[in-house]
Copies of this chain bind each other. A is one copy, B any other.
Amino acid sequence: MEQFVADTLKDHNLRTTTCRTEVLGTFLNKEVALSHGDLEGALGDQFDRVTIYRTLKTFLEKGIIHKVLDDEGVRYALCKDRCTEHDHHHDHIHFKCTNCGQTNCLENVHIPAVQLPDGYRANELNLLIQGRCPECVA
């Protein structure tokens, strides 16, 4: 995994710094969408808040992570497809469990086509489904 992190950073022409390595590693470990606050919590006092914000911004721009909309603040998740700077192409849904609070990408569940009224030009879709995840349904 450490190798994957190093490669990913190199592939995107980013210097391998401790913060970037740790943040990317955290996304790989947790496998759920993370907020800035989640990262701060996971990484302790290792890094300044601002550095984490900037790391997220950089990863976003490079297409390493994508935003996950939420009714109580933005989260971020790894891009599985190869996205590039300002050209994210995601069509999977995001599921937020209202019980355990976890949000994740359901990469295999695609957003169905939507017929927009005349004149509208669609660019980016974002579908959040809230409910109960399998672990919390029981």
Contact = CB atoms under 8 A, between A and B. Distances in A.
Given A71-B126, A126-B69, A106 B117 contact: yes
In this complex, which of A71, A95, A119, A129 has the most chain B Cβ atoms within 10 angstroms of its Cβ? A129
A134 B120 contact: yes
A125 interface: yes
- Copies held by the complex: 2
A123 B133 CA distance: 11
Interface of A: 67, 69-71, 74, 93, 95, 98, 106, 108-109, 111-134, 137
Which 5 A-B residue pairings sit nearest by Cβ, starting from the closest?
A119-B134, A112-B112, A123-B131, A121-B132, A124-B130
Given A122-B131, A125-B128, 13 more contacts: A69-B126, A95-B120, A106-B116, A109-B115, A112-B112, A112-B114, A118-B134, A119-B134, A121-B132, A123-B130, A123-B132, A124-B130, A125-B129
